[in-house]
Chains A and B, each alone.
Chain A
Amino acid sequence: MTPRELLRADQQLITELVPEGARVLDLGCGDGALLARLRDERGAIVRGVEIDLADIALCIERDVPVYQGDLDEGLSDVPDDRFDVVILSQTLQVVKRPRLVLSEMLRVGKRSVVSFPNFGHWRVRAHLALRGRMPVSDAIPYSWYDTPNIHHTTIADFRDFSADCGAVVEREIAFVGRDDGRPRMVRALPNLLADEAVFVLRRR
C-alpha cells in the first residue's frame, strides 16, 4: 500500500461530496491525485481532462485515464448527463471562458462541484484597500503580471454567476484552507472570512 497522499483542503472536501461508485469527471485534474483518491476510497469511475503534459504523465502513473484537452474548447464529445459528478477544482479562475466551462459542466454532469479562491476575503480586500496593491495571499500566491488566474471571483459573485448560468446551488461550503489539508469551516460572513469555497450545483 502506498501512503495516503495529502490532498489540498478543497480536494479533501470534494472527496466527501462524491457518492460511492459515482462516475466522476475532473476538469483540469492536474496530477490526478483527487481522482485516484475517489477511485480508491469511493469506488468512483474516474476520468480526467488536463492540458499539461507533465501532469498527464502523473495521471497515467496513477492509472487515472486522462484526456488532453483545453477546457475553453468545451466538452463537445461528451454526451449530456454522462457523469454523476463533474469537478472543477481551483481551475475556474484560470479558464478564458468561465461561462462556457460551467455550462458544459452542468450539461454533462448531474452535479457540478466548483472550488475557487475567494477574492472577497478580508485580506484581499485589505491588501487593495490599505496598501493599494494587487493582493497576494496564501490562496492567491501570484503577482499580477505572472498569475495564471485571469478570472477572479468572490463567493457573492459566484452565486450570481451560477444563477446566471442556469444552476441551482445545492451546497455552499466556505472555509479557510490550511497546509495540513484540513479546512477550517467558516459559517458567519463567508464572503469576508473564507479564503476558499466549494459549491455544489445542478442544472435548474
Chain B
Amino acid sequence: MGETDTIRRPWEETASAGVSEKKTLALDGALTLASGRTLDRVVVAYETWGTLDELGANAVLVCHALSGDSHLAGLRPGQPGDATPGWWDVMVGPGKAIDTDRFFVVCANVLGGCSGTTGPSSLDPETGAPYGLRFPMVTIEDMVDVQARLLHALGVRRLASVVGGSMGGMQALAWAKRYPERVGSVVADATTWRLGPQAIAFNEVGRRAILEDPAFSSGDYYAVGQPESGLGIARMIGHITYLSDESMHKKFGRRLQSSADYAYDFVSEFQVESYLAYQGQRFVERFDANTYLYMTKAMDYFDLQGDAPSLAAALLSVSARFLVLSFSSDWLFPTARSKELVSALRENGNEVSFAEIPSGYGHDAFLLEPEAQHRLIAPFLTNALAHARAAADDAPASQLPGTEVAS
C-alpha cells in the first residue's frame, strides 16, 4: 500500500466520504447556559461518518465555524452528483486527513445555529412562535456542553481528537479546558484563544447592519422574511476579513465586472463589489440573521483565560496533546495569538506542535489549503489514535472517568 499512498492526493477526491444523512437528537432534560438561563428543550442536528471501534477510542469531533453546519463531508442523500459537498470535504473521507476508514467522525450544528440545532429560529415551546431575540445568549462553552451531551448519547466517552477551524477551533479549545479527561488531543486550526478588538469591531459592524435594517423587526421577522439587506452586508464585511490584501489582488485586482469603462454611477462595477454582493446574496438564502447575531456574540465573549491570572494558569487542568496551526496571511486570527496559546501550553508542559502555514488566502486558508493541512493533521491524528487506544487499553471504557456531563 505504501507506493500507492505516496502518489495519492486524497484531498482532491471530491465527496469520497459518501452520502451522509442529517440526524437529530433531543437532549434529555434541560440545558443550563453560562448566562444562568436554561433551555428546556434542545434538539441537535448532527452527522456521523465511520464507525466507533470496540474500545471507543477512535472518535473525532469536528466543530464548525460561524457559517458552517453538520454537513462536514460527502454528499447529502438525494443530492445530485455535482452538488456542493460538505464544507470540509477536502479534509474528511477515506484516506483523508480525518480518515473515515479509521475514525468515527461526528459533526453537529452548534447551539444557536440555524441548520437543525435549536437556535433563535426554533419555536419557543412557551409561545409556539420562533424565539427571535428571546433566545438566550449562548457561549462557545454552551455549544460544547451540547456536543458533550450528544456524544454521551452516541456512546462516545472519550475523544481521540477535537478538531476545529476558526470558531470551530474555539470550541475545540473550550473542549480541552472544560472536559480535560475526555479529550485526548486538539487540532486548533486558524483559531484563537480570544478575539482581539479588531475582530470584535468587524463583528459589531456586521451586527449593526442587521439590527438597524428596518426589516429586522426586533428579531421577529420570521413571518415576513428576514432582514436580507442587513445580513447580506454583514456577510460582505465578513468576507473582507476572511480574505487578504494579496488574495483580493489576485482574485479581483481592480478589474471591472462587465464594462471596460467606468459608469460614473453607484452601481456595482468592480469585480470585488460583485463578488461581495454575490456572497451576501447567497448567504441570505441559507442563513438566519438572528443566528448571525448570536454566533458573532459568542465568538466575542469567548476568552479561554477567563478570570485566571494568565492563560497558562487557566489551562493548568488541560492534559490534551495539541496541534496548533495558523496561516501567514490570516490577519483576523493572526499567528501571534496562536503563539500565545502555544506558549501557555508549553509552559504547562503540554505536548504541543505548532506551525504557520504559508498562504496568501487569509483566514479562508483553512478551507483552501488542504494539502499543507493534510501533511500536518494526518500524522498528528494517526498518533492521537495510537495514544487513545493505549489509554483505552489501560482503562476499560466502563471505568473511564468523566462520563458525567456538565449541566
Contact = CB atoms under 8 A, between A and B. Distances in A.
A2 to B, nearest CB: 12
B354 A68 contact: yes
Interface residues of A, number: 16
B15 interface: no
Interface stretch (B37-45, B175-183, B264-272, B341-349): B341-349
Interface in A62-95: 63, 65-68, 77-79
B376 A60 contact: yes
A56 B376 contact: yes
B379 A65 contact: no
A5 to B, nearest CB: 16
Contacts of B19: none
Contacts of A77: 339, 343, 346-347
Main secondary structure of the interface of B (DSSP, over half): helix
B383 A60 contact: yes
Contacts, number: 47
A59 interface: yes
A133 to B, nearest CB: 36
A68 B339 CA distance: 10
Contacts of B386: 63
Nearest to A46: B351
Contact of B353 (A54, A56, A78): A56
Interface in B361-388: 372, 375-376, 379-380, 382-383, 386
Contacts of B353: 56, 59-60, 65-67
B24 to A, nearest CB: 36
A67 B342 contact: yes
Nearest to B326: A68
Contacts of A65: 321, 351-353
Main secondary structure of the interface of A (DSSP, over half): mixed
A47 B351 CA distance: 8
Contacts of B382: 61
A6 interface: no
B151 interface: no
A53 interface: yes
A67 B355 CA distance: 7
A124 B123 CA distance: 81
A102 to B, nearest CB: 21
B60 interface: no
Given A67-B346, A77-B346, A53 B352 contact: no
A186 interface: no
Contacts of A67: 342, 346, 352-354
A192 interface: no
B200 interface: no
6 contacts: A56-B376, A60-B323, A63-B386, A65-B353, A68-B356, A77-B343
Interface of B: 321, 323, 339, 342-343, 346-347, 351-358, 372, 375-376, 379-380, 382-383, 386
The 5 closest A-B pairs by CB, nearest first: A61-B379, A77-B343, A65-B351, A63-B383, A68-B355
